[in-house]
Amino acid sequence: MKELLKDGFPDYLESIRETPQSGLRVNTLKTTPERAAELLKLSDRVPWTENGFYLPEEKGFTKSPYYYAGLYYIQEPSAMSSAALLGTEPGDRVLDLCAAPGGKTTEIGATLKGRGVLYANDLSASRAKALLKNIEVFGIGNAFITCEESSRLKKEFPYWFDRILVDAPCSGEGMFRKHPAVIRAWEEHGKDFYCPVQRVLLDDAAEMLKEGGTLLYSTCTYNPHEDEDQIIRFLSDHPEFGLDRIPPCEGFTDSWLLPGCVRLLPHKARAEGHFVARLKKKGEKRASSEGTAYVQGTGYGGGPSYGTAQGRNRKAALPEDLSAFLGIIRREFQESNILIQGEYVSYLPDTAAYRKDLRYLRTGLLLGQLKNGRFRPSQALAMNLTKDEWPDPVLFGIDDPRVVRYLRGETVEADEDGKGVRLLCVDGFPLGFVKQDRQRLKNMYLPGWRMQ
């Protein structure tokens, strides 16, 4: 670092003795940054993203019912830069190649606004479980979650994606202050351990990106071998790409080793260490030929039926209980996009995006399960709905003690008699389903998500 920063080294050394900065990113699928700032009493904005705020401390924000409602994600501020600079637009086909635990993925999914398709991939199945939860808490229904090598994905999706994010595994030098345990891994592996992995990820991503598409590469390390040197090598090997210069922004340091790339340094930004490079593939960008893309709060047109994993285009009578439940929701479902695999019922955001031979953790939106002809809706579906899409939601305020009791898995009482499944909301934001019998609300909240 002394060699890299020269005269700036003493300031850097002083900065890493300071307390790490925490951040919060608002889920724009659920609310606006302005509304969230009002609810959470926030005002200190992160300059490189429209929906990021600095936190005085993280304590309390992960215990709020608003957190369980998916209104925001706790994220280190420099990490917010990658998804913000990717430039995702509604309708895009996007691949997050190293997605877990989902901080950048959830922002991409929110920016898509339910249109297009998001592939969130992570080779580690255990890490991908956290990714799955974060995607479902955010209410993102147009995502596929896979656990595959990049070499496997490039065979299935040649020149298919509009945008690809490679937030690569790295030596983690930029996180030493926030996560000291990373130092031990650095000492064990050395600073260049991940360079071959990064190279493969970049090269495979190049073969999955369409002409005119955007490839964004980021790390949380300072090591030039993992940062600028990777980009210089990539551009030399792939003349069809050019560097897309990142414009100036408060807190950004233009890379002096490769101008147009960005470094975030803790003595120059209120953030941990980060590196970002944006690459553009030459050629004219062509619009993706979307299948039926899910748009939150709007209908599709067309009545429900279902296809199977073996043949989704073969029409069959929709199971009666499933049909009745979908009929309650104020949204229409395209018949060819319903996928039943065993007892699980999913809704595919784009049938052209489904590749049956891949290892999936989730295929689109999990609607629920069918057991003995009975349909049980999923927690993911509840989070994907809006208050207005359910005819008679249970509405509790943030200060109502029944909200916390519900999140802990308890049975709560309703204010009026009723019968059947209902959507429970806090201040109008869905939390999950309940099954009402008179004034008794039987808890259907997912056990693994319960507040401890």
Our answer to whether residue 147 is catalytic in this structure is no
Q: Name beta bridge partners: 55.
A: 22
Cis previous bond, 101, omega within 30? yes
Task: Return the structure tokens found at 196.
Answer: 């071959």
Of 420, 425, 423, residue with least CA distance to 436: 420
Cis ω on the peptide bond leading into residue 349 (within 30° of 0)? no
**Are the CB atoms for 117 and 363 separated by under 8 Å?**
no
CB-based burial label for 202 (10 Å; 0-12, 13-18, 19+) = buried
Distance from C-alpha of 330 to C-alpha of 38, rounded to nearest angstrom: 29
Q: 220, 249, 261, 425: which is the annotated catalytic residue?
A: 220
Place of tokens 């369980």: 68
Adjacency order of strands within the sheet including 52-55? 52-55, 22-26, 72-74
Neighbours of 15 (CB within 10 A): 17
Rounded to a whole number, what is the largest CA-CA distance in the chain?
72
* Residues labelled catalytic: 220
